[in-house]
Structure 1
Amino acid sequence: MQVERKESTMDRVNVGLARRYRREKRFRLFGLGAIIASISFLGLLFVSIGANGWSAFQQAEILLDIHFDTEQFDVDNLSSANYGALVKNSMKGLFPDVKGRSDTRNLHKLASTGASYVLQKMVMKDTAIIGSTQKVWLPADDEVDMFLKGYISRDVPESDRRLNDKQVYWIDQLVAGGRLEKKFNTTFFSAGDSREPELAGIRGAAVGSFFTLAVTLLLAFPIGVATAVYLEEFAPRNRWTDLIEVNINNLAAVPSIVFGLLGLAVFLNVFGMPRSAPLVGGLVLTLMTLPTIIIASRASLKSVPPSIREAALGVGASKMQAITHHILPLALPGMMTGTIIGMAQALGETAPLLMIGMVAFIVDVPGAVTDPSTVLPVQIYLWADSPERAFVERTSAAIMVLLAFLISMNAVAVFLRKKFERRW
């Protein structure tokens, strides 16, 4: 007769431990899988943006022999000269066999309409070139640029592409003669917005973003730090301060477009401030980033040990002296980190700025905070809505520039936290 063995307490404990270890192992694997999936999707996003945008840093240019005919210029009004005719005459000189109005028009289309502005700037900068013949690299049309980059295939029927067979032949002749090449696209970084993709750049939006963030930083940082110091060090503990703290925490979760509506109603409709100006954009983003800066600053003040305060007060310092001489310097790295993160958030915002009119088509680069302007996220939004294929690559390139700024700002925040962080 077999005697049934009774399960001991240690057996039950070992079974329970094995089950718990298996659950912990599965949980770690799930967490590791989530991290790998997140990094994979992020990498896929970066690769997709880079694949679409890297070609925007190059632009097709045509080398033309421009004869600055003196008969075309009025010394008293150089801007009135017909610079477009100079480009057309040079193109005609390269292909003298081209006859007929239609073929001539198609030949002239190979050069960008912005080529005349390049020549105008040359003459305005140096009038001595009038009467001479100069070799000048001028921007090609965006369709020519797309053809050289492989986005327009020559293997499809003529009716299915934007360039006809004769234009493809002329492009091949220019490439074979060394007169059509892809060069670094300086226009992308030096020009403002344009209806023509080959003339469009991000300088206007970048300067607008700089002015907007400058206004935001000058207002949000001192107000946010002062608010945090008052609430943490001076404010009495009662239901009113509790109500203020709850509202600050709630404002941090309010959708950004609500702040845009507030700016539209108050700054534009009540105070009559200029529409589509970095000044108004900075004020709106200040309201949006203040809760983030206040919360981060209060957390930094709380991290300072009470012994620092007590020691300062114990040697005769006033409360204000203890705060300004001892507590603030120790809490400042955390405050700066929170501020930089808040500014990075503001740099990527679009919705509140759309509400105050910063979605307008602005060609000129702003020179002050009151000038009409746009910002990088809004510029990306405008280009993404354009039908031209050339704007697709410029949209991705602008996203790459914006991501570079955001990553740099977050890297600075991490560096400051690591460099100045104190462990107690």
Structure 2
Amino acid sequence: MSASKHGSLLQTDTHTKKRNAAEKRFRMYGLSAIGIALIALVILLVSIIGNGASSFRQTYLSFPVTINAAEIEAAESALLKTAAYNKIIQTSLLTYLTENDLLQDIPEADAFGMISDEAGATFRRFILADPEAAGTTFQLNLLANGRIDGYFKGRVTAQTALLDQNVTPAQLVLADRLADQGALVKRFNWAFFTNPDASDQRPEAAGLGVAILGSLYMMAVVLCLALPIGVAASIYLEEFARKSWITDVIEVNIANLAAVPSIVYGILGLAIFINFAELNQSSPLVGGLVLTLMTLPTIIISTRASLKSIPPSIRDAALGVGASKMQSVFHHVLPLAAPGILTGTIIGLAQALGETAPLLLIGMVAFVKEYPAAWSPDAGLFGEASTALPVQVFNWTQRSDPAFVERASGAIITLLIFLLIMNALAIFLRKKFERRW
């Protein structure tokens, strides 16, 4: 009777079977959720890399150029210097095409149109950097037009060229001849990381140089302000402040600030830093101040969590041997909490690096051609106009030319690499400086 009522030890109970089945189902649900997330991540990465990998390769037109000192002097004395250098390039290109019988029935205007509008400025910078090139024949490498570059990357075809005002089928025929001759080649696009942005007519010359520099300046401002302020506030709240309704209100507000949409910080920065303090619009200083406000709650919360994780016995032991409260915190607790603080700081910086909305509101969406200086007498520290990586992505996605869409995907890949490096650095520092007790 007893055995049948309570079940046998040798047989699995019905309720146990149900619990085991429920546990298996829960594991399957969890694995399914992870699988769906991984599939979505793979699809996203494949899409971005597929669209943006080609931005790291660029088509160049390479041909011999001969220039003498008189031509350089005439070009430098011309009212439109870039146009004068363009004329020299066109003459040399026409000579090269004629000597190699590549032009044939192709109009000269189509041949000249294959070269980027940036060519004249590039050639002038080359000559001014190396004046001894005058009187010699050298191989000149110039950017091909964006449509010609797109032809070798599959964006432009003979069919689409019939409907495109920026390229002709004859140019594509000449491009094939030049490629067979070895004059049109694809190389790694270093200029993508150093050039500033370019106009809609020159997508092949657009780069991330100004955006990368502006992002670095902003991260320097955020690091110099958010880290000391955030750590100091955390130490006071966690170690020295008496628990009262005031500290409770402060803690609640810090938690709320961490959940505030980033665009609100942009509105705050526009009102305080630009309209009230009259700081320069579009400057990395204003961008850094706005991102500092946004990053502070993250650093404070992570720092307090790191301080809480230190056992009270370490504080008691320090106080027991005669250390003051401040000595126990700064000599014993803070060094042990440093890995967690570093991790929270780097994650906060990574979050700030990818923000776009607050930067749009303070004017960092503007087209910036010149590299911003870290210091200038007129604008001060980080006061010159700049842009940032996520804003540059936003700008390029708004343009109609498919070459800018490719550039935007390449910028996203670059931004993801920066974020991956920062997160890997956070993990490395945590593992390296973590102590067991």
TM-score range, shorter chain: over 0.9
Amino acid at match of 1:50: I
Distance 2:295 2:280 in 1: 22
Answer yes or no: is 1:118 the counterpart of 2:122: yes
Partner of 2:426: 413
Equivalent residue of 1:8, what SS?
helix
* 1:343 pairs with 2:327: no
Residue among 307, 315, 318 paired with 1:309: 315
Other-structure match for 2:406: 393
Pairwise CA distance, 1:78: 6.5
The partner residue of 1:287 within 288, 293, 306 is: 293
Secondary structure at 2:141's aligned position in 1? Answer: strand
Segment of structure 1 superposing worse, 68-77 or 252-261 = 68-77
CA distance, structure 2, for counterparts of residue 402 and residue 78 of structure 1: 43
User: Could you tell me whether the CA contact under 8 Å between 2:196 and 2:369 is conserved in 1?
Assistant: yes
User: Letter of the aligned partner of 1:145 in structure 2?
Assistant: D
Q: Is the 8 A contact 1:362 1:372 kept in 2?
A: yes
Q: Which residue of 2 is the match for residue 357 of structure 1?
A: 363
> Which residue of structure 2 lines up, in the alignment, with residue 19 of structure 1?
18
Take 2:63 and 2:195, find their aligned partners in 1: how far apart are those partners?
A: 22
Q: Given that residues 162 and 169 in structure 2 are in contact (C-alpha distance below 8 angstroms), is that contact kept between their aligned partners in structure 1?
A: no
Structure 1 residue 66 and structure 2 residue 54: aligned? no
- 1:6 Cα deviation from its structure 2 partner: 10
| Cα displacement string for residues 230-287 of structure 1 (whole angstroms, at most 9, x for unaligned residues) | 0011111111111000000000000000000000000000000011111111100000
> For residue 271 of structure 2, what is the aligned residue in structure 1?
265
Which secondary structure state, in structure 2, belongs to the residue aligned with residue 373 of structure 1? coil
Q: Are the structure 2 counterparts of residues 423 and 157 from structure 1 closer, same or farther at C-alpha, using a change threshold of 3 Å?
A: closer
> Which piece of structure 1 moves more, 80-89 or 180-189?
80-89
Letter in 1 for 2:264: V
Of the candidates 150, 172, 193, which is equivalent to residue 146 of structure 1?
Answer: 150
Range that drifts further, 19-28 or 61-70 = 61-70
Contact 1:276-1:360 within 8 A present in 2 as well: yes
Paired residues of 2:234 and 2:303 also in contact (CA < 8 A): yes
What's the counterpart of residue 136 of structure 2?
Answer: 132
Structure 2 SS opposite 1:403 = helix
* Cα offset, 1:377, TM superposition: 0.4
Give the C-alpha shift of residue 367 in structure 1.
1.8
Stretch moving more, 355-364 or 103-112: 103-112
Q: In structure 2, the residue corresponding to 1:19 is in which secondary structure? A: helix
Report the more deviating stretch, 59-68 or 273-282.
59-68
- CA distance 1:184–1:158, change in 2 (3 Å): closer
Residue aligned with 1:362, SS: coil
* Deviation (angstroms), 1:418: 2.3
Tell me the residue number matched to 2:379: none
Distance 1:183 1:32 in 2: 43
Q: Please report how far the alpha carbon of residue 184 of structure 1 lies from its aligned counterpart in structure 2 after TM superposition.
A: 1.2
Matching of residues 199-214 of structure 1 within 5 Å: 199-214=205-220
Moved more, 197-206 or 86-95: 86-95
CA–CA distance in structure 2, aligned partners of residues 70 and 421 of structure 1:
65
Can you give the 5+ residue segments of structure 2 that lack an aligned partner in the other structure? 375-381
Shift of 1:103: 3.0
Inter-partner Cα distance in structure 2 for 1:119 and 1:158: 28
In the alignment, the residues of structure 2 paired with residue 22 and residue 125 of structure 1 have an alpha-carbon distance, to the nearest angstrom, of: 75
**Alignment CA distance shift 1:202-1:157 (3 Å):** closer
Find the partner of 1:378 among 382, 391, 397: 391
Q: Would you say the 8 A contact 1:78–1:124 is kept in 2?
A: no
Query: CA 1:372–1:158 in 2, change beyond 3 Å: closer, same or farther?
Result: closer
Deviation of the 1:417 alpha carbon = 2.0
Alignment of 1:108 with 2:105, yes or no, is no
Equivalence for 2:187: 183
Tell me the equivalent position of 1:319. 325
Picking from 155, 158, 162, the partner of 1:159 is 162
Deviation at 1:69, TM superposition (A): 4.0
The CA deviation at 1:381 is: 0.6
The residue aligned with 2:377 is none
1:403 to 404, 416, 419: 416
Alignment of 1:13-52 (within 5 A): 14-52=13-51
Cα shift at 1:7: 5.9
8 A contact 1:52–1:393 mirrored in 2: yes
Q: Distance in 2 between matches of 1:6 and 1:185?
A: 79
- The amino acid that maps onto 1:284 is V
Q: Specify whether residues 78 and 304 from structure 1 end up closer, same or farther in structure 2 by C-alpha distance, changes over 3 A only.
A: farther
Partner Cα distance (1:50, 1:176) in 2? 28
Structure 1: any 5+ residue segments left out of the alignment? Answer: none
Task: Find the aligned partners of 1:106 and 1:166 in 2 and give their Cα distance.
Answer: 7
Deviations 1:335-354 (A, max 9, x none): 11100110000000000111
Q: Which amino acid in 1 is paired with 2:312?
A: P
C-alpha separation in 1, matches of 2:75 and 2:171:
38
- Structure 2 CA distance, aligned partners of 1:51 and 1:301? 44
1:86 aligns with 2:99: no
The alpha carbon displacement at 1:370 in A equals 1.2
1:9 aligns with 6
Aligned to 1:261, the other structure's residue is in SS state: helix
Shift of 1:226: 0.2
Separation in 1, partners of 2:407, 2:286:
27
Matching residue's letter, 2:152:
L
- What whole-Å deviation, never above 9, does each CA across 1:379-418 have from its counterpart, x for those lacking one? 0110111111111211111111100111111111112222
Of 289-298 and 385-394, more deviation after overlay is shown by: 385-394
> How many Å separate the matches in 1 of 2:184 and 2:430?
50
Amino acid at match of 1:221: L
Cα deviation for residue 362 of structure 1 reads 0.7
What is the aligned residue count?
Answer: 419
Give 1:374 deviation, angstroms: 0.5
Aligned CA-pair RMSD: 2.3
Deviation of the 1:132 alpha carbon:
2.9
- Percent of counterpart pairs with the same letter? 47
